[in-house]
Structures are given as structure tokens and as C-alpha cells.
Amino acid sequence: MRKSRQETAETRQRILEAAAAEFRRSGIGSTGIAELMAAAGLTHGGFYKHFESKDQIVEESIALATRSLATAIESKLSSAKAGHGLNAVLKDYLSAERLEHCEEGCPFGTLGSELARSNERVRQATTEGFVAMVTLIAGQLDDLPPVAAKKQAMVMLSTMIGAITMARIFTDSDLSVSLLRETRKHLVK
């Protein structure tokens, strides 16, 4: 049952989005092709009509997830009052909702240690995503010269990532909430 070109393209995109969510929810290694295709409403056999390998969809879905995050941050920044953009981003990123919903969360936070062991292309996509987000955040630090702003933004972003990563591990949810709150206070000052 061949599909039209448009349907094929839409299906590919649907698989990609399902993958970006499933990988963030369950991890890259623990998410099988069958699981990810089922999340897109298909059976596993058709996967290879759209992607060459699991490696390829990992790479593309990480790139998609970082682009989504960048878009979300941009929209938070542009809808906030002047001078309050960063605060809005922090409030969103370090919120209880993001803590719970890995599948829509920051791929650096949900997949960090797995990405460090991924192949060159995946790590390259991740690095580029990180740099793009650093640039966005640095744009908000207009009281600093550009180079210093980038350095500061880089530290801020990795601080946020460390906080959400650890908060997701803790068995004590008070501790999680406290870490997110204190991190926000620390970065906002």
C-alpha cells in the first residue's frame, strides 16, 4: 500500500517526533525501533523505508529536540517583558512540570550521560545545539561584553542541566524541588 509523497514525508516527520519523545522518556539504549514505531502508530518493519539505521534517527531526533528547546526558549524570551526574559526561561526550565515530563524536556538533561558515549555525529549535533542555546541566553546578558556574556551563558546553561539531571534522580521530591528553586535563585541574582 504505497503512500503519496506528502503522506510519506508526514510519516517520516511523525516517526522523528515520536523518537525525540521516546528517547527522552526512556533513554536511547532502552528504546527499541518497535517501541518508537508503535508510538508513531506503525509497525517496526517500515522503519527502514525512512531511516538507514537506529544511529541515524538518534542523530536526527537529537537535532530535532535541541531545535524544539531553542524554539521554546526563544518564545519565552520574546513574550517576556524587557529585562525579564532570563527569569522567564529559568522559571520554565526549572519547573516541576519539566521535571516530570522528560519526553518534552531538555535533551541534554534527559540524555546527558548517554550522549557522552554516543558517536561523533550525535555529539556534534548536541554540541551545536548547546552553542545555539548559549547564544540565545547570552543575548539577554546585555550588561556584559559579548565574550563575557557567552561565557556566563555557557555556565548558566550547564548549571540548569546539572540541576534538572540530579533533581530527576532524587527519591526525595522535596530535595528535587529545593534544588530547582535554589538553582533559580542562584542564577537570577
Partner DNA sequence: TGTACATCAGTGAACGCGCGTTCACTGATGTAC
Q: Which three cell numbers stand for residue 35?
A: 517501541
Alpha-carbon span 170 to 130, nearest angstrom: 25
Tell me how far CA of residue 123 lies from CA of 50, 52, 119, 161, in angstroms: 22, 19, 6, 16
Residues touching a second copy: how many (CB under 8 A)?
Answer: 45
156-185: contacts with a second copy (CB under 8 A): 158-163, 165-166, 168-172, 175, 178-179, 182-183
- For the bound state, the minimum distance from the C-beta of residue 122 to DNA, rounded and expressed in Å, comes to 14
Q: Does 19 bind DNA (CB under 7 A)?
A: no
Q: Does 135 bind a second copy (CB under 8 A)?
A: no
Whole-number CA gyration radius for the chain: 18
87-116: contacts with a second copy (CB under 8 A): 102, 108-116
Q: Is 96 helix (H, G, I), strand (E, B) or coil?
A: helix
Per-residue binding letters, 48-87, with DNA (x by CB under 7 A): xxx--xxx--------------------------------
Tell me which residue of 81, 78, 86, 74 sits closest to 187, measured CA to CA. 86
Q: Does 139 bind a second copy (CB under 8 A)?
A: no
Alpha-carbon span 157 to 49, nearest angstrom: 37
Alpha-carbon span 109 to 157, nearest angstrom: 10
Q: Does 4 bind a second copy (CB under 8 A)?
A: no
- For the bound state, the minimum distance from the C-beta of residue 155 to DNA, rounded and expressed in Å, comes to 35
List residues binding DNA (CB under 7 A). Answer: 1-5, 7-8, 11, 31-35, 37, 42-50, 53-55
